[in-house]
Amino acid sequence: MFSEAMRVLLDTNILIHREASTVVRPDIGNVFYWLDKLKHEKCAHPVSLAEIEKHKDEKVRSTFRAKLKSYNILKTIAPLAAQAQQFAATDKTENDRNDTIIVNEVFANRVDILITEDRGVHAKGAVLGIADRVFTLDAFLEKVNAENPALVDYKVLAVKKTVFGQIDINAEFFDTFRSDYGGAVFDRWFARKADETVYVCYEGTTPVAFLYLKVEGPEENYGDIEPRFLPLRRLKIGTFKVEVNGFKLGERFLKIIFDNALRQAVDEIYVTMFQNTGGQQRLARLLQDFGFLEHGNEDRTAWYRTRTGAQHAASVQRRRASAHVPVRQPRHSSAHRADLAGLPHEPPAGLDSAHGVPN
């Protein structure tokens, strides 16, 4: 499918990520590399331009006008299909209505696919039966890599088991940790862990994935967590970050997590994570999609849990059928907890640009 030239509609959030002066999503460059490599037509919708024109800074508006000349702006708007008109009852804002107009272009076959990070648009695509034509950035990357193996550079991607002391702490990869926890605090924590085991993956000499696991016994003090954890043997995902690159690194690292959980004979897995960035929020939503449920909340930490085996499968179906648990405010981090009874060996879909709390 993706090896043939297509008309690709880019949602407003993708355009902003791409053309903003500050790089918010490093993976956006990989997406545009593939769009150009495969000679896909990059399209923007008139409603996206209208949204950008509402920016209060004329300099920003002027800059975007110039940059958007490199896109094909749709010259007409498809009539709203009867199937899409059902959203009128729930479209409360102009943004909601614009989302409907944009996804309707795919339904009307004016464009081949849509790339968006807006979960509301994805939900509408699912209702319209076109979920397979509405992609997130990472889903698009995974698709093009899978369908174009001859064009992929496989210099990546072996996962290496090593120790903290063997890793360059000054790599840009770790800047998000410094931002979340404070540079000096994170550096001291990293130094104290010098002899402890970590899993890391490099693209060339640049880290693109990092995982640290910690086993906690029943005596662990969870006094600051409400509701209180029961005394069990747990595997904590102490530090976890995977950058999007289209190679499903998140799946590899989840397999490592589950293998460690089984080998260490723990009862549960959990992770704490900030939700300051889009990548971190996507990780939280992904965990929710696969059955992780909110356990509680404290100053900076939201706690989640899930069940596995038959109970896990039933929980996943309920989560997918219903609205997702709202993500907490950005100042919060989240911890995920998993009951290991009947833990499946196959991990959920890929994770991206998210990390857990050092501990």
pLDDT at 351: 32
Q: What is the pTM of this model?
A: 0.56
pLDDT at 300: 43
pLDDT at 182: 83
What is the per-residue pLDDT across 276-301, written as a single tens digit (0 to 9) for each? 666 667 667 666 665 566 666 544 44
Do 19 and 67 touch, CB atoms closer than 8 A? yes
Sheet with 333-339: strands ordered across: 159-163, 197-203, 206-216, 234-242, 268-274, 333-339, 301-306, 293-297
> Where does 7-151 sit in CATH, by number?
3.40.50.1010
Sheet with 134-135: strands ordered across: 72-73, 41-44, 7-10, 113-115, 134-135
Q: Which 3 state secondary structure label does DSSP give 78? A: coil
**To the nearest whole percent, how much of the chain has pLDDT over 90?**
33
Per CATH, 7-151 and 159-339 having the same topology is answered no
- CATH topology for 159-339? Aminopeptidase (3.40.630)
pLDDT at 297: 54
pLDDT at 357: 44
How far is Cα of residue 213 from the mean position of the Cα atoms in its chain?
20
- Lowest mean pLDDT of 48-57, 137-146, 318-327, name the range: 318-327
- Lowest mean pLDDT of 10-24, 241-255, 269-283, 340-354, name the range: 340-354
Length of the chain: 359
Tell me the domain boundaries of the chain. Answer: 7-151, 159-339
